[in-house]
Structures are given as structure tokens and as C-alpha cells.
Chains A and B, each alone.
Chain A
Amino acid sequence: MFLLRKAGFYLVALWAALTVNFFIPRLMPGDPVEIMISKLGQKGPVSPETRASIEAMLGTDSNQPLWGQYLDYLSGLATGDLGVSVTFFPASVSDIIGQTLPWTIGLIGLATIISFLVGVGLGTLAGWKRGSWLDSLIPVTTMFQSVPYFWLALILLFLFGSIWPLFPLNGGYDVYNVTPGWNGPFIGSVIYYGTLPALTIIISSVGGWMLGMRNMMVSTLSEDYMLTAEAKGLRNGRIMRRYAARNAVLPSISSFAISLGFVVAGSIVTEAVFSYPGIGSALLQAVGGNDYALMQGIFLIITLSVLGANLLVDLLYSVIDPRTRARS
């Protein structure tokens, strides 16, 4: 029953996301189809099939009713046809997404997980030893959190890229010396180039996890079962980890899902600063070149990824906290 409810919710959310994606270009002023077709025309002949798929994505002034357009759009999506990109002509939108998505998932995914683990760990300690130096560190990390991602990225670039050239200024790997693939130099280069962007994300997001975890720890410590655990004479480490932290981490996990949306948003800007070859940079290039098909496609993929990640966390949550299953 619980799983059915969840599945139902995500189906509705998926439908809502698809519909938002369908209506945004149709409600906006101007005629994106004509702009795109004329841009495509400059690069080569436009086949009728291309025209049809663009019209299905972006809306059309032809006399087809809105319902027919909607069905066309959905069937186009079902076959994975997202149209052709203008900016990267003649690559198809799905190809571009396929090339850029792994970069973003690698960078953002890893950075977010590291930040979550570090933040929750530090928050546990800060809540456990209230009033210690770690606790007074929290306002500092919160300060970092209110620093905009991209500004922190700019400062880090300025310091470690220009003044002390420790890290490269932009890009995802060393384009001249290594070849992409599963070889040592390439992976090393990816890690080297990804350090500064990842560091930016970690520094600016770790404060939120730390504060949330610390506050939940403080609340949990005053529960009765904590007193019981102490009365039983358990070791401090065991009380902290098995009794307090385990319960206090639950809200952090559920807000992990919600935060993913914000992380994706922040990463678009971060990628722009570092010219990282991820999906955020592709989105911005699409916006810059009025490449509406690519833009819609990327928006769709970002939304679907966030939805998918939310579903995963939700399922995981129902395993670690059985109360959520019992209540529904």
C-alpha cells in the first residue's frame, strides 16, 4: 500500500513535469519553432521529419489542436526523440545529453555525498559536545552557506587558479595530453580538474547539513531512551552512534532528497564558472544560442533526474524508518 502510494505520487509528479515542459514554450511570447528552423536552415537543409519533431517539442502555429500536439509530444518522448540541436549541429539532443550527463552526475553526485557525510559527521559531534569549539564553528559554516556558489567559485579560481596556480582554470580534463577512456592518466586528470568545482560545492553546502544534524542531535539527546541508555552504563561512543545519531539522522536523509533540486540549480552556475563540460554548461549554451530543443530536452532530463533521486531516497527512507510505512 505504501509503495503503491509512493509510485502513484511519482507518476503524477512525472506527468506534471512533462506537462510543464510542454506548456512553457507554448505560453511564451514569440515563435520558437520559426527561430529554430531558421537557425537550422543556416547550417543545412531541414528535413520534414526534423521539422515535425521540433514542432512536437516546442509547439506550432499549424492548425493542429492543442490535444493533438500534446499526444504528438508524448509519443515523441516515448520513442526518445528530442529533436536536433542547433548549437551542436548536426548532433541530436539525446546525444548531447548522453555526453554531458555523466560529467554532471559524477561531479555533483560525489560532491553532494561527500558534503552530506562530512556535514552529518561534524553535526553529530557538535550536537554531542554542545558548546565545544566545533559548535562555535557552526555560524562560520552557515556564513559559507550564504555565500553564493558561483562567487565562492570565482574567489577560489582567483586564489588557486590565478594567484597560486595550483589548479587548472577551466575544463573537465586535460584535452591535449590524455585521451578519454578507462585509463589511469585520464581518470587522474578528471580528478585533478574536478577538485576545485567539487570543493566549491562542498564548502558551500556542508554548513546546512551540519546545522540540521546538530539541532536534531540536541533534540534527540533529551529523549528518555537516551537516559535509559546512560543508566544501562553503555559506552559513550555507542550511545552517540547507535542511539542518538541513528535517530537524529532521519530528517537529514529526508531533506537530502529535497536538497538535490537546489544542488542541481547551484551546479548549473558552478559549471558555468569552471566551464565544466556538464549538462549545466550545455543548458547555458542552449540558452545563449536560442537552441530551444536542446533547452527543453535538458530541462526534462534535469527534472527527471531529480524525480528519480527523490524516489530512491524515499524508498531508502521507508527501509530505514519503518514508521513511515506504518503511518500511511
Chain B
Amino acid sequence: MTLTTQTADAVPADTPVPSKKRRIALPPMTGKLAAGLIIGGAIVLFGLIGPLFVQDPSTVSDIGLAGPSSEHLLGTTQTGQDVLAQLAYATRGSLLVGLIVGVLTLILSSFFGIVGAYAGGWVDESFSLFTNIMLVIPGLPVVIVISAYVPDKSILLVSVVLAITSWAGSARVLRGSTLSLRSRDYVLACRVAGEKRWRILFVEILPNLVPLLASQVVFAVIFAILGEAGLSYLGLGASGSFTWGTMLYYAQNGLALRLGAWWWFVPPGLMLALFGAALSLINFSIDEIINPKLRNQTRAARRGWRMSKAQLRKAKESTL
């Protein structure tokens, strides 16, 4: 409940009353956003079409552990499997987990967050209690315990369990914003004008929550991919699947670290880090829509005013 102080003002106070002609708030194309989109897009593309061009990732050859060469661009594992091929399939696996969890989190958190806050009364009370309880029960231990009982897991099962344990944070943020939106004058006006409740929710309130939803989903995807990687690294991931985490698990078990086989354990981790960073960069841009105070007066914006360096310094001094 304490979070509401933060989230209540996350929505700009001067949210424009939706007009007939809807203006879709696309983030301005900044360097951050462009970098995020390019890196993220490249990784998604690699996961989508990469597996079509590489050999079977499980093919064992007698070459053994070998560094990068023209035949195996990223070297081979202990049993002579091509690391690049594994990386391509692993990218697809990890992105799939991110996608499933992202969709499930979107559904769960908007149901418990937005619908609850809009309905109000005991529905809101019970939804919010449920959300808060889910929030304080630590997620990964639950996932580990559940994984320990189920010997054969599919990627779908792992993703569902991850989603169930991670939606609560988003729901709380969404609830805060919905609470502040539903008491706005324009919503009251719609109610007086006799609009149906579901219409107010979906046509008047939901569009204003889209940036927030987007940023929450992006967060959920990052957490899901990282969580799955951690789980797989512990040997508790989906059985028989390729993800970045399982690659690291096999690298660790194959003593890649002691043998100095950097081409084996660096690429999957680097992909994780790059994809996470790309999504964070995209989130920065979304944040600037949600909270316009973050947008003004950054250095990039000041440069946009075509001020000279001396003028910039002066402006900075005057704002301090």
C-alpha cells in the first residue's frame, strides 16, 4: 500500500482528455530508443531465423573442445557441439519463455490490478490483498521447490510457474495508476453521460494505461528471461530444451571456466546482458512518456535548443 505514493503521480496530471481522433503516443526516437530497438531486434531476428542456418546443435563430433575457427565460428563444446548452433537455438528458447511470461503477466496483472481498482469496494480490497501476499512470497524459491517435485518439465510449464510468481509487482503499479485515473473529472463526466462501465474501462481508462502496461511487460520479459536462466543454470529448467541458461549450465558442468573456454560461457551470458540492456533502454523511453518530468532538460534536450557550451553551463548553474 505504501507504493501508491509513488505510482499515483506516475501518470501526468495533465493527461489529455481523449478526443475523437486518437493520438498514439509513440516515444520520440532518441539514441537510447534506437539502440535498444536495434540490439533487441537483432537478437529477436537471430532467434527467429538463426536456427534455420546452423547445424543440429546436438550433433557430437570428435573435434572436442576447440576455440573459434572458420568451421565453427564460436568454437565447440567439450563433446564437439557447435556453440553458434547452440546459441541460435538457445536464443529461440529464451525468447519463447520471455514471450509466454510477458503475455501471461499482462493478462494477470491487468486483471488483478486494473479491473480490481476500477471495480472498487470489496473486489478491490480482496484483489489488492491477494496481490500483496503474492508480492511478499519470494518467487524463485517457490519455482525451485516446484521444479524439484516435477521431474519432466516443458518450457510452457516453467514459463507458467515463472509468470504466476512474478505478476504481482506489475499489478500493484497498475492498481495505483488506475485508482488515480478513475477519479479524474473526465471519467466522472463519462459516467454522468451514461457510458457503460465496461466502455469506460476499455475506451476511456485503458488507453491512458498503455505506456505503463508496456513498461511493465518489458520488465516482466527481462525478469522472466533472467529467472529462467538462473533456474536452468541450477539444472532445474525445462528438460531437453535449449536456452541461454542451459548453455551456461553445461558450460559450468564441462569445466569451461577452469579450462579457460571463454567462447563457451561468454556468448550466452553476453546475449542475456545485451537483450536485458536493450529492453531497459526501450523502457527508459517509455518511462519518459509516463513521467514527463524525466524528459525535460536532459543534456540531449538542452543540446536540441542549440545553445553553446557556455550558455549550457550558465543554464546549468542557474538551475542549481
The residues of A with any CB-CB pair to B shorter than 8 Å are: 9, 12-13, 16-17, 20, 24-25, 28-30, 32, 128-131, 135-136, 139, 142-143, 145-151, 154-155, 157-158, 162, 215-216, 218-219, 222, 236, 250-251, 254-255, 258, 260-262, 264-266, 268-269, 272, 283-284, 286-287, 290, 292, 295-296, 298-299, 302-303, 306-307, 310, 314, 317, 321, 323-324, 328
- Judge whether A28 and B291 touch: CB under 8 Å: no
- Select the stretch in B63-71, B129-137, B179-187 that faces chain A: B129-137
* A258 touching B169 in the complex, CB below 8 Å, given contacts A12-B133, A130-B297: yes
- Judge whether B145 and A265 touch: CB under 8 Å: no
* A155 touching B269 in the complex, CB below 8 Å, given contacts A265-B139, A302-B138: yes
A33 to B140 alpha-carbon distance, docked (Å): 24
- Judge whether A131 and B302 touch: CB under 8 Å: yes
With A154-B248, A258-B3, A268-B141 given, name 16 new contacts (CB 8 A): A9-B129, A13-B132, A129-B320, A148-B269, A150-B229, A151-B248, A155-B269, A158-B262, A162-B257, A251-B3, A262-B139, A268-B144, A284-B234, A287-B236, A292-B149, A306-B138
A158 to B265 alpha-carbon distance, docked (Å): 10
* A139 touching B5 in the complex, CB below 8 Å, given contacts A148-B229, A303-B138: no
Q: Which of B221-246 contact A (CB under 8 A)?
A: 222, 226-227, 229-230, 233-234, 236
A310 to B293 alpha-carbon distance, docked (Å): 30
- Judge whether A272 and B149 touch: CB under 8 Å: no
- Judge whether B145 and A250 touch: CB under 8 Å: no
- Judge whether B298 and A130 touch: CB under 8 Å: yes
| Nearest 10 Cβ contacts at the A-B interface | A146-B276, A265-B140, A131-B299, A28-B149, A151-B269, A251-B6, A261-B138, A254-B2, A147-B273, A287-B148
A16 to B126 alpha-carbon distance, docked (Å): 14
A129 to B132 alpha-carbon distance, docked (Å): 36
Chain B residue with Cβ nearest A261: B138
- Judge whether B273 and A146 touch: CB under 8 Å: yes
CB of B309 within 8 A of chain A?
Answer: no
Chain B residue with Cβ nearest A288: B235
- Select the stretch in B43-51, B79-87, B114-122, B277-285 that faces chain A: B277-285
Chain B, residues 293-320, CB within 8 Å of chain A (1/0): the string is: 1100111001000000000000010001
* A269 touching B230 in the complex, CB below 8 Å, given contacts A9-B129, A139-B281: yes
Q: Which of B35-71 contact A (CB under 8 A)?
A: none
- Judge whether B269 and A139 touch: CB under 8 Å: no
A123 smallest CB distance to B (angstroms):
13
CB of B260 within 8 A of chain A?
Answer: yes
